[in-house]
Copies of this chain bind each other. A is one copy, B any other.
Amino acid sequence: MKDATDMYIPTFQDVLDAHARVKPYIHRTPVLTSAYLNELTGAELFFKCENFQKAGAFKVRGASNAVFGLRDDQLEAGVATHSSGNHALSLSYAAGRRGIPCHVVMPRTAPEAKKAAVRGYGGIITECEPSTTSREAVFAEVQAATGAEFVHPYNDPRVIAGQGTCSLELMEQANDLDAVVAPIGGGGMVSGTCLTLSNIAPDTEIYAAEPLNADDAARSFRAGHIIADDAPDTIADGLKVPLKERTWHFVSNYVTDVLTATEDEIVDAMKLTWQRMKIVMEASCAPPLATILKNPELFAGKRVGVIITGGNVDMNNLPWTLK
């Protein structure tokens, strides 16, 4: 499909093709439940655990789809991206599996654990300042010097189609969901979720959850056009980036609502998940549970899918030890 601006919008067939392409390189992650959290929220929650995914996050789905879809003449120059963390890890992992170089521009303030993990997968890091403006300028230099194929962290049809494979699995593992809640930063996961659900479960509501401190998606949703913040400050470091045209297409057409949570609500939901579900997940995964706890009238009595997006945490900087 092409829209009025001649921008390629991925189709559900692209999701099915992506799933066939990436299956050998990713995990079919488990869906976990918690009797305690069901009782607390009044809903029946199904947690799709992408924190157990290869490279520690859902982003390996989209990154692998892009890397394994490259033409032979693109392999030598490899791929390049800018990322607040997990897309960098994932693209490095996928490039490593295909044996091609991967150039990564990362904010110098990104968690050390993520930088070390990118290097561990063979990624080549160039640091930038922690703002979208600096990131894009430094990236332009890197791409000019290497000729590598740009794989945007989310505003790329190959990436969106890859992320769509997550809810494809979720709906097989926990069918008849009344709603799915996913965190929103740039909107890659939410767009993939919209793409898949609008085709296979059009009655399932789709909620996007984000930090109140980085509520550009909620403000965009209400305004009817993209509003971008340059450098929002939130513990949910994966959710700082703004929507772009392709993800805005999905958010504006298919999302039921965008909900927000405060920093304290995010940290509490994160800690609660660690304590009760015994899983390690990032602060960026906590807005869905935080907003479900905060809005029981929307979710009580429903079967709700919750996407746990990643588990790459700096164990020496846990947010509740900083409070």
Of B113, B281, B320, the contact of A278 (CB 8 Å cutoff):
B281
Give the complex CA separation of A274 and B113 in angstroms.
Answer: 13
- Contact of A280 with B by CB under 8 A: yes
- Contact of A58 with B by CB under 8 A: no
Could you say which residues of chain B place their CB within 8 Å of the CB of A30? 30
Could you say which residues of chain B place their CB within 8 Å of the CB of A274? 280, 315
Could you say which residues of chain B place their CB within 8 Å of the CB of A321? 316, 318, 321
User: Chain B nearest CB: distance from A53 CB in Å?
Assistant: 9
- Contact of A78 with B by CB under 8 A: no
User: Chain B nearest CB: distance from A47 CB in Å?
Assistant: 12
Could you say which residues of chain B place their CB within 8 Å of the CB of A281? 278
Interface members, chain A 259-318 (any B CB < 8 Å): 271, 274-275, 278-281, 311, 313, 315-316, 318
- 20 further contact pairs, Cβ within 8 A, besides A30-B30, A275-B280: A32-B52, A51-B278, A52-B278, A113-B275, A274-B315, A275-B313, A275-B315, A278-B279, A278-B280, A278-B281, A278-B311, A279-B280, A280-B280, A315-B318, A315-B320, A316-B320, A316-B321, A318-B318, A318-B321, A321-B321
State the A residues within 8 Å of B (CB). 30, 32, 51-52, 56, 113, 271, 274-275, 278-281, 311, 313, 315-316, 318, 320-321
26 contacts across the A-B interface (CB closer than 8 A): A30-B30, A32-B52, A51-B278, A52-B278, A56-B278, A113-B275, A271-B315, A274-B280, A274-B315, A275-B280, A275-B313, A275-B315, A278-B279, A278-B280, A278-B281, A278-B311, A279-B279, A279-B280, A280-B280, A315-B318, A315-B320, A316-B320, A316-B321, A318-B318, A318-B321, A321-B321
